[in-house]
Homo-oligomer: A and B are copies of this chain.
């Protein structure tokens, strides 16, 4: 039997970088987690351990820090593109680079120039690819945006089989932690305002949709993100249904008119879906 090497990549994951920019007494903070991953002429390192084509993951980490100094770090998408292009353009054995960045958000304290407090559980994300044919792709996104509607959500009219015990409801709590990732038809002038706009559209659609199912809410959020401003051609979601079960208080002689809930951990519903423009260009390796 003949055995061969299949698809592979290697890199440095989770390089934690904080950059401080001083604008007089006012400081600006960027707090990111960078994962780089390279592929190319990697047969020999796998077959014989010959590292001649391998740029060490330690060097990738150093490059992340050095680039934050040399080139600055404003929008994570731009920083990721810079890194990805660098690896491919400077090392002939590297044919493809993948860079993923998480950004943690901080809020400057009022009337303080250099004091900050972490702002929410939410994380801004991006995933960038660049190959030696000069093709680049950018996926922007966010995760752990935790939202809840305390009414305005129903669930009924579903399929029933011999294993169905769930009763329909016309008023329930709907809660989720949104993971959303999107790509632009063409790059926006600035990824910052584009991100803020999409995020706001997602919140507006989540809050503004009278929901008959979490899928309907997901689609409404995607539609709003695509039509609420210029540029997006596709958006993908993963939304766990963080169940809030109404507690049965009847044994204690109490009503429970949608007031007291048990917030469950596991199991949970998990809704995944994508919304795209009919004319969305091919994604290539963007999502990989």
Contacts and interface: CB of A to CB of B under 8 A. Distances in A.
A58 B234 contact: no
Contacts of A272: 8-10, 37
A52 B215 CA distance: 13
Interface stretch (A74-82, A127-135, A142-150, A186-194): A142-150
B267 A2 contact: no
Given A35-B270, A150-B116, A247 B65 contact: yes
Contacts of A254: 66, 69-70
A216 B49 contact: yes
Given A161-B90, A271-B10, A114 B218 contact: no
A158 to B, nearest CB: 4
Contact of A69 (B106, B112, B260): B260
A215 B150 contact: no
A148 B31 CA distance: 11
B20 A258 contact: yes
B152 A114 contact: yes
A58 to B, nearest CB: 4
Contacts of A249: 65-66, 69
Q: Kindly report how many copies of this chain are found in the complex they form together.
A: 4
Q: Which of A63, A70, A159, A227 is packed against the most chain B CB atoms within 10 Å?
A: A159
A276 interface: yes
A252 B281 CA distance: 40
Given A12-B268, A66-B254, A276-B6, A20 B159 contact: no
Nearest to A149: B115
A284 interface: no
A59 to B, nearest CB: 5
Contacts of A173: 18, 20
A265 interface: yes
A47 to B, nearest CB: 6
Q: Which of A29, A63, A164, A256 has the most CB of B within 10 A?
A: A164
A27 interface: yes
Interface in A1-54: 1-22, 27, 29, 31, 35, 37, 42, 45-54
A216 B46 contact: yes
A139 B211 CA distance: 36
Contacts of A58: 164-166
Given A14-B268, A20-B150, A2 B218 contact: no
B158 A14 contact: no
Given A62-B163, A159-B52, A118 B116 contact: no
Given A12-B270, A51-B159, 15 more contacts: A6-B274, A8-B274, A13-B268, A18-B263, A20-B151, A20-B173, A29-B148, A49-B211, A50-B212, A52-B158, A58-B164, A59-B163, A59-B166, A65-B249, A69-B254
